[in-house]
Structure 1
Amino acid sequence: MNVVIIDDDQLVALSLQTILEACDDIQVSATGGSGADAIRLYEEYQPDVLLMDIRMENINGLEASETIMASHPDARILLLTTFSDDEYIIKALSIGAKGYILKQNFESIAPAVKAVYNGQTVFGDEIVGKLPDLIGHMDTTSSDVQPSPFAGMEYELSSKEMNIIRLVADGLNNKEIASSLYLSEGTVRNYISSILDKLQLRDRTQLACFYYKKLTN
């Protein structure tokens, strides 16, 4: 797995590199210290996962993520911060970041990178508990937040599909969902792909948002 690390604190970037390269299946191709570096290094290395700090001067991690995803909508970007800031979380959700975790939880960083690489969406425990309340604010008129993708959506879901959506929102991966519902992982993948198509959603993050916004009210 090819990873690029972006953090404006060089010691933090080196620490993250050390943590990740302790894993046999992770190679850190490059490190950078700014949002501009992130954009440039993503184009140069096309990493499997971009691990990036949010709070940086000039171009921050969220702004760099938007720029990268405009050209690479399938980019796997895992955002790091020392702050569980509601506004940042909402923005990360709206632009389609694959994860948002607190960098002080060092033991969770490598597993989170691997989970994002495998197509999962990752939020730290401190953030998961906030999601139901935060999703309710995603229709804000603030110019910094995109309109909710669920406005005006019509849907018809089977009980099986509803169960799978709930488990995705609970943070379970495909293997865990398969075990819970006595299905194969392939069947779960097919269900999720079909659900995303039916609801015209982009990824598991939007599916979790859909659950909290539309199915728990």
Structure 2
Amino acid sequence: MRVAIADDDPIVCSSLSTILEATGTADVAWTANTGTDAVTQYEMDAPDVLLVDVQMPGMDGLQASEAILDAHPNARILILTTFADESYIAKALEIGTKGYLIKQDVSSVIPAVQAVMAGQVVMGAEVLSKLRVSPQSTTSDESSSVDRVVSHDDAQAVQGSRNPDSSGPSERFAGLTERELDVLELVAEGLDNREIASRLFLSEGTVRNRISDILAKTNISNRTKLAVEWLAWH
């Protein structure tokens, strides 16, 4: 695959490039040190996956990602940053990026890039904990739905965010019907609506309505958070 990197630190760009190429994971198509340059470079040479830092001079990484996704809705963008800020994470999910990782272990980049290339959404363990939704949340739309949702470093990320002493999440899912739980399981496995419909012998419209009902009953704001909650607590 071909990967591009947008980070304001040239050393980070160089280090990531070395790791990706030395391991045979990907060829690095280009690097950029500002959000504006990332948008310009993407227009000239779209990579398979784009790694983007959040804080960059001028146009930041989230603004750049939004501009790219507006023009290229199928762009695979993975946020890679030192900031586990809830507003940044929420914005990244809202605009349709394919994941959010914290720069705490460069070795995590390889499986994350591979997962994003496979159509998955990747969350770091710290990000999973930030995504826990308050039971008082009242939004129940599915505007930020995604095709795939996985936890980064699978079991490690999920286990790292669990809190066995909390009864909130189990109460959150207690009101779901058996059929809704079937749908939820498949959402958490990363199936899209068409695949869920095929698996459960339902129409896509029915699946979409079931997911909307699940979001409303659980007071979770979107499909991504729904899957993350289930993975983290079930």
* TM-score (ref. length: structure 1): 0.72
Please tell me whether the aligned partners of residues 197 and 204 of structure 2 are also in contact (alpha carbons under 8 angstroms).
no
Same amino acid, percent of matched pairs: 40
Pick from 185, 201, 217: which aligns with 1:163? 185
In 2, the alpha carbon distance for the partners of 1:134 and 1:125 equals 18
In 2, the alpha carbon distance for the partners of 1:121 and 1:88 equals 16
Pick from 195, 204, 209: which aligns with 2:225? 209
Structure 2 stretches lacking a partner, 5+ long: 144-176, 212-221
Structure 1 residues 191 and 39: alpha-carbon distance in aligned structure 2, compared to 1, 3 A threshold: farther
CA apart distance, 1:98: 0.3
Structure 1 stretches lacking a partner, 5+ long: 140-147, 175-185
CA apart distance, 1:189: 9.5
In 2, the alpha carbon distance for the partners of 1:164 and 1:125 equals 21
- 2:42 aligned residue: 42
Please tell me whether the aligned partners of residues 99 and 121 of structure 1 are also in contact (alpha carbons under 8 angstroms).
yes
Runs of 4+ off more than 3 Å: 134-139, 148-151, 156-159, 186-192, 194-198, 210-213
CA apart distance, 1:91: 0.6
SS in 2 for 1:129: helix
Cα deviation, 1:62-116, whole Å, max 9, x if unaligned, reads: 0001101111111100001111111101111111110100122211011101100
The size of the alignment, in residue pairs, is 185
Pick from 188, 199, 202: which aligns with 2:208? 199
In 2, the alpha carbon distance for the partners of 1:103 and 1:52 equals 11
SS in 1 for 2:23: coil
Please tell me whether the aligned partners of residues 39 and 64 of structure 2 are also in contact (alpha carbons under 8 angstroms).
yes
CA apart distance, 1:150: 3.5
In 2, the alpha carbon distance for the partners of 1:29 and 1:99 equals 20
* TM-score (ref. length: structure 2): 0.67
Structure 1 segment 70-149 matched on structure 2, within 5 A: 70-133=70-133, 149=141
